[in-house]
């Protein structure tokens, strides 16, 4: 029993060590030549534009159900006109960044792990090294840059669509005047709230993509290993999103409020 625990701890420490090494190598690759601009543009398109549909749907229905549920609750206190305040604060500060990141973890994290894992088991990564190409610069850096920079953009889109979905429900189902709703949306936000909603996605996007790259490059065991890597990437990225969100929120509250 003790031996198995020691083996598990050694494996966990090794994974953390390799992850830190990968992040350090990616950091060096971002500031030193060569730069693979074509790969960067391709990843921006795949991660950003490719994830737009799922982010739009997630934001729309989240804002709609949030308005519907909160409107019924606020009715008990005669505060139905304040539904816009609740929707905007919830979407911009917390639900928008976290749900967008979770959708990216499911779509982007799994895709990166599967793609890089397939290249690992097919010896394509070894072929790149044999040709003198650094796999981290060629494969990891463009994905990390795209994920880190596109996650905030997708979060802004999700926030706006969520608030719009809340407006649809508030005006059609809750009978709240349109002007009252939008006034409540603006009144419910402090200057710190948009900054919090914009800062967190940078860290969340980095965590998702870097974990996907790490798991993909550590794939072993043929096609079964690719399946395991995909599952592990989604689980690890989703847990990391929730953990990073907590710590960044705690830090931002200390600095801003």
Task: State which H helix or E strand residue 117 sits in.
Answer: helix 110-121
**How many DSSP H helices and E strands does the chain contain?**
12, 0
Note the pLDDT tens digit of each residue in 4-27: 788 888 888 888 898 999 899 889
In sequence order, which residues have a C-beta less than 8 Å from that of residue 191 and are 6 or more positions away? none
Please state the domain extents for the chain.
Answer: 35-256
Q: Determine the pLDDT at residue 210.
A: 94
Q: CA 40: distance to chain centroid? A: 18
pLDDT in tens, 95-150: 999 999 999 999 999 999 999 999 988 888 888 888 888 888 889 999 999 999 99
Exposed (0-12), middle (13-18) or buried (19+): which is 215, by Cβ within 10 Å? Answer: buried
Q: Which of 95, 83, 72 is nearest to 183 (CA)?
A: 83
The alpha carbon of residue 181 and the mean position of all alpha carbons in its chain are separated, in whole angstroms, by: 29
- Provide the 10 A C-beta neighbour count for residue 32: 9
**3-class state of residue 132 by DSSP:** coil
What are the pLDDT digits (tens) for 203-226? Answer: 999 999 999 999 998 888 878 888
d(CA 144, CA 29): 11
pLDDT at res. 175: 85
Q: Give just the sign of the alpha carbon dihedral 185, 189, 195, 200.
A: negative
Tens of pLDDT, residue by residue over 71-99, are 878 777 777 788 888 899 889 988 999 99
Distance of CA 52 to the CA centre of its chain: 13
């Amino acid at each position: 029993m003790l031996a198995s625990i020691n083996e598990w701890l050694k494996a966990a420490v090794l994974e953390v060590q390799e992850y830190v090494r990968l992040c350090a190598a990616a950091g060096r690759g971002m500031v030193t030549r060569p730069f693979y601009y074509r790969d960067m543009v391709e990843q921006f398109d795949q991660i950003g534009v490719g994830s737009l549909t799922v982010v739009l749907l997630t934001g729309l229905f989240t804002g709609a159900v949030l308005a519907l549920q909160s409107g019924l609750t606020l009715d008990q206190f005669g505060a139905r006109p304040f539904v816009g305040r609740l929707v905007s604060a919830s979407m911009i500060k917390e639900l928008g960044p976290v749900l967008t990141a979770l959708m990216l973890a499911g779509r982007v994290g799994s895709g990166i792990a599967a793609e890089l894992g397939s290249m690992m088991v097919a010896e394509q990564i070894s072929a790149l090294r044999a040709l003198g190409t650094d796999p981290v610069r060629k494969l990891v850096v463009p994905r990390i840059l795209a994920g880190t920079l596109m996650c905030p953009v997708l979060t802004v889109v999700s926030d706006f669509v969520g608030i719009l979905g809340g407006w649809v429900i508030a005006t059609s189902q809750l009978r709240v005047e349109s002007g009252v709703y939008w006034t409540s949306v603006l009144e419910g936000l402090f200057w710190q709230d948009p900054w919090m909603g914009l800062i967190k996605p940078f860290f969340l996007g980095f965590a998702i993509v870097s974990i996907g790259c790490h798991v993909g490059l550590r794939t072993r065991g043929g096609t079964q290993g690719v399946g395991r890597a995909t599952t592990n990437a989604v689980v690890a990225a989703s847990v990391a999103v929730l953990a990073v969100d907590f710590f960044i929120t705690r830090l931002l509250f200390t600095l801003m409020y």
